[in-house]
Amino acid sequence: MRRVRRLAALALALAASAAVAGCCFQPLYGDRAPDGAPSLRDALSSVDIQQITAPKATPEERLAVEIRNALIFDFTGGSAAASPSHRLKIAITSTRTSVIVDINTSRPDVENFGINASYTLTEITSGKIVVTGQTFARVSSDTPGQQQRFARARGQRDAESRAAKVIAENIRSRLASYFVAGT
């Protein structure tokens, strides 16, 4: 009997603490904010993503478009953007390193591709920079055969696209943190 009372008291205490903790919990990607503030989706859709500058006719130019398009879709969900309250400016650089080189043909078997990105989020009304940061992505690709040039080119392009997605996800996560927590 005594044990049952203890278990009931413990269950009651856990339920009370869960109720108190539940009122403070806010899902990051929820539709509504509990305090009446704009939801994260609304805040992200009001970010104006500037064109990412890159040298013309280079793989970096394609990556700049890919990163920007991924961010636009992530922020708006495919719908129309809200009127801008913030401006996001991104600069990227890329690197390519041969990790393993075939000693007979001097062609790379495995390559690493990387993107470094720096970004700033500026409040449009005040012109104040509210978030600044840097992120990077490193991915590898391998060549399935030394004579398969198209497969090598396609593998490199896939690696570049994967790195661009990682950059977009990192920036989205950082800005989501800013809009929810204000830091």
For the chain, domain boundaries = 36-181
Residues 98-118 have pLDDT tens digits of 777 777 777 777 888 999 999
Residue 74's pLDDT is: 92
Distance (Å, rounded) from C-alpha 112 to C-alpha 119? 23
User: Given a cut of 80, is residue 122 above it in pLDDT?
Assistant: yes
Average pLDDT over residues 80-87: 88
pLDDT at residue 28 in the model? 56
The per-residue pLDDT for range 1-54, each reduced to its tens digit, is: 777 777 777 777 777 666 555 555 555 555 555 556 667 888 899 999 999 988
Whether this prediction's pTM lies above 0.95 is answered by: no
Give the CATH H-level superfamily of domain 36-181.
Lipoprotein like domain (3.30.160.150)
Cα-Cα end-to-end distance for the chain: 51
**Separation between Cα atoms, residue 167 and residue 175, nearest integer Å:** 12
Nearest to 44 by CA among 21, 73, 64: 73
Which pLDDT score is estimated for 153?
81
Structure tokens at 133: 């940061």
**Mean pLDDT of the region 41-70:** 91
Per-residue pLDDT at 57 exceeds 70: yes
